Amino acid sequence: MIRRCALCSSTLQILAQDQWHIPGLGKKIIGFSHCPDCGMIQQSPTVTPDEMTHFYKTTAVYNCFSDNYKPTEEKIISVTRNINDLLGLAGNVPKTVFQVGCSDGYTLSRYQEAGADSVLGIDPSEFNRKIAKIFYNIDSVCMEFEEFETDQRYDLAILTHVLEHLYDPKLILTKCNEFLHPGGWLLAEVPLLEKEEYFPTGYLSFEHINYFTADLFTQMIEACGFEIQLQTKLYKACRYPVVTVIAKKFKSPNFQYKYRQDRNSAGVINRFLNFDKSEWLRINNHLLKNIKIGSDIFLWGAGIHTSQLLCNTDIKKNYNIRYMLDNSETKWGKEIANIECRKPSLNIFKNGDIVVISTRASEEEVYQALYNQYGDTIELIKLYNL
């Protein structure tokens, strides 16, 4: 699927594209493109909205490796920061709150603890709905926000790390404007397309289809009828830079808004693409140095990182990948490039097995858990924290 610019509807210019094997979807052409008019960077070519929805409902999981779905320290700090910033502006936590893309319900549970009387999540994943109810007693509606309708009006809309995932972010913000009381609050946060030296390998991900500079992000929010009260940039606190905006409902959306061009975005992405290429080459050479060609290996991790690993290195050509393992039950039985994902079982490995840890975000947690169980009887290969 070829997209047009999500902000100004212009024709996009492709910067890079390749074939990725996506868990649950198969082989797809995935690319990243630049809008010559406003400067927006977006995933295009990409899968269809129906295919992406299927991926979120059946496969995607955004929880850490273990610890019974406990939030990461990074998430705890981020939610605390956002609540404190909102308290500083509003004086108290808004009483009625909804969150688009509520995931496991942790964020809404924190707003409830801070004083919200009523909270509601909207998320397309049935798995996430169950986790939110079981672990945090948070009610959520299992559907795409585009389909959600309500007569209720709220005091706060939360969109943290969701607008980068959606094909029409302006539509989502417009609906949030509609569902808020006059003067209601919006809290939105996305990855920041700035300072590419802080981007991790694989920053251009399958799930992220929009890449915002701070200027384009605030322009979009203002065009959708909000008045910015606070903008915060963080470069090192998260896995990648982020920009957070707290705004108030100010007026109706301006559907004729003319976006000012951001001239920095293309340079940021092109510099990152060169770095990313060299980093995947480093990983390929690291594997060759540590694993004999032709060896049997296992991959731990059946997510998008593995899709990128298979696309950007010779790991499948150089080794016999017996199968993948992943703690997420949504991955079991699915394939990436004809490699099956299986449920981990007790003592699944035998003495001398080689396990490549295919995750960046949870690499240390995976390593420690496997080492604690198997010690030196298996060979664990890390790709990052060497």
**Alpha-carbon dihedral sign for residues 4, 7, 13, 18:** negative
pLDDT along the chain (386 residues), means of 10: 97 97 96 98 97 89 60 91 96 96 94 96 89 92 92 97 96 97 97 96 94 98 98 92 97 95 95 96 98 98 96 98 94 96 91 96 93 95 95
Determine the pLDDT at residue 67.
54
Could you say which architecture CATH assigns to the domain 67-254? Answer: 3-Layer(aba) Sandwich (3.40)
Q: Report the alpha-carbon distance of residue 105 to residue 15 in Å, rounded.
A: 36
Determine the pLDDT at residue 343.
94
**298 secondary structure, DSSP code:** E
Q: Report the alpha-carbon distance of residue 296 to residue 284 in Å, rounded.
A: 16
Superfamily of domain 291-381: NAD(P)-binding Rossmann-like Domain (3.40.50.720)
Domain residue ranges of the chain, discontinuous segments joined by +: 67-254, 291-381
Determine the pLDDT at residue 33.
98
Topology alike, domains 67-254 and 291-381: yes
What Å distances lie between residue 237 and 240, 241, 330, CA to CA? 8, 8, 29
pTM: 0.92
* Nearest Cα to Cα of residue 252 among 289, 207, 275, 222: 222
